[in-house]
């Protein structure tokens, strides 16, 4: 098996009907994996992702579940196993954002962000752990964010949920290593998906792009390629890692160089 070969592997990607999740599902399929495409409300988008994978000659199924609910997450993992014949890779990608200043924050909204973003990781990991431990084989990739490593106005609940994912990733890696299970997190930078589009509207995007050393936002496909690599055999000695994919944004001191 080559470093980019996922033939015979079965993957579940949460929040895979659009954005980074969808791009990840296609990237895994392109490397030979069969993919369960999870969605909460985007049934048509999930069906389109499955169709695209099938057009590539791959195998995929769409499965509805709200991963913030433990019972639904457990049912999702079980359906993926049954419908595709097993499970080897779990990509915890599902997430939401609710922008707002701390002073004005609605507590229920803030906890809902944590419940979806961190809760989804917790619930799906817990649901898949027994299967992975029994087969002594599994790769978990949690999609975090560079927001987890610094402050940003209006993003406190989102950043806190992603920081929790980072800590959970490292603890999971330590606990599961003896069972042959790897757990890593990929931390995307600014990627123009529906989740962060409000940050890039009304000229904010051009102001922000000047703070990114490579002077460009990421494409969802660029993030997906890193996730697929980390999930696969080429990263077999990698576990407990937090991998930034942010065009150098997090490597700076403050805003970095602000020239052209």
Per the model's pLDDT, the better-predicted residue between 47 and 99 turns out to be 47
List, for residues 188-236, the tens digit of each pLDDT value. 988 776 655 555 565 566 677 777 887 788 899 999 999 999 999 999 9
DSSP 56-96: TT--EEEEE--TTSHHHHHHHHHHHHHHHT---EEEE----
Report the interhelical angle of 107-135 vs 70-84 (nearest 10°): 40
Neighbouring residues of 78: CB distance < 8 A, sequence distance ≥ 6: 127
Residue 89 confidence (pLDDT) above 50: yes
Residue 77 confidence (pLDDT) above 60: yes
Neighbouring residues of 41: CB distance < 8 A, sequence distance ≥ 6: none
Coil vs helix vs strand at 174: helix
Q: What pLDDT, on a 0 to 100 scale, did the predictor assign at position 246?
A: 85
Residue 255 confidence (pLDDT) above 70: no
Q: How many residues does the chain have?
A: 260
Q: Which whole number is the average pLDDT over 125-129?
A: 98
**Residue 1 banded pLDDT, cuts 50, 70, 90:** very low
- The CA-atom distances, in angstroms, between 31 and each of 21, 35, 226 are 16, 11, 13
Q: Which whole number is the average pLDDT over 151-161?
A: 91
List the domain boundaries for the chain.
10-243
Respond yes or no: is residue 158 known to be catalytic: yes
H or E, element range at 138: strand 138-143
**Residue 260 banded pLDDT, cuts 50, 70, 90:** very low
CATH superfamily of 10-243: NAD(P)-binding Rossmann-like Domain (3.40.50.720)
Share of the chain above pLDDT 70, in %: 90
- The CA-atom distances, in angstroms, between 210 and each of 27, 189, 216 are 29, 14, 8
Share of the chain above pLDDT 90, in %: 77
Q: Of the listed 158, 168, 190, 249, which one is catalytic?
A: 158
List, for residues 6-38, the tens digit of each pLDDT value. 999 999 999 999 999 999 999 999 999 999 999
Q: Which whole number is the average pLDDT over 137-156?
A: 93
**Residue 258 banded pLDDT, cuts 50, 70, 90:** very low
CA 185-40-188 angle, to 5 degrees, is 25
Nearest alpha-carbon partner for 260 in 213, 218, 203: 213
Q: What pLDDT, on a 0 to 100 scale, did the predictor assign at position 197?
A: 56
Q: What pLDDT, on a 0 to 100 scale, did the predictor assign at position 213?
A: 80
Paired tokens of 229: 């690599």
Coil vs helix vs strand at 51: helix
């Amino acid at each position: 098996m080559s470093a980019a070969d996922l033939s015979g592997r079965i993957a579940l990607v949460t929040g895979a009907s659009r954005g980074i999740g969808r791009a990840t599902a296609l990237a895994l399929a392109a490397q030979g994996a069969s993919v369960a495409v999870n969605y909460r409300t985007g049934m048509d988008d999930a069906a389109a992702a499955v169709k695209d994978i099938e057009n590539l000659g791959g195998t995929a199924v769409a499965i509805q579940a709200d991963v913030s609910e433990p019972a639904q997450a457990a049912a999702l993992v079980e359906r993926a196993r049954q419908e595709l014949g097993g499970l080897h890779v779990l990509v915890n990608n599902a997430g939401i954002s609710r922008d707002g200043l701390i002073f004005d924050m609605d507590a229920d909204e803030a906890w809902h962000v944590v419940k979806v973003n961190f809760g989804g990781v917790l619930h799906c990991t817990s649901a898949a752990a027994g299967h992975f431990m029994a087969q002594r084989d599994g790769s978990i990739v949690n999609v975090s964010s560079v927001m987890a490593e610094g402050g940003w106005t209006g993003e406190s609940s989102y950043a806190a949920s992603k920081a929790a994912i980072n800590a959970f990733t490292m603890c999971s890696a330590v606990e599961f290593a003896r069972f042959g299970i790897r757990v890593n997190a990929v931390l995307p930078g600014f990627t123009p998906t529906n989740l962060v589009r409000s940050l890039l509207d009304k000229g904010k995007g051009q102001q922000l792009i000047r703070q990114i050393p490579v002077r460009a936002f990421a494409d969802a496909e660029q993030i997906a390629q890193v996730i697929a690599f980390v999930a696969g055999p080429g990263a077999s000695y990698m576990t407990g890692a937090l991998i930034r994919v942010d065009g150098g944004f997090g490597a700076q001191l403050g805003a970095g160089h602000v020239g052209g």
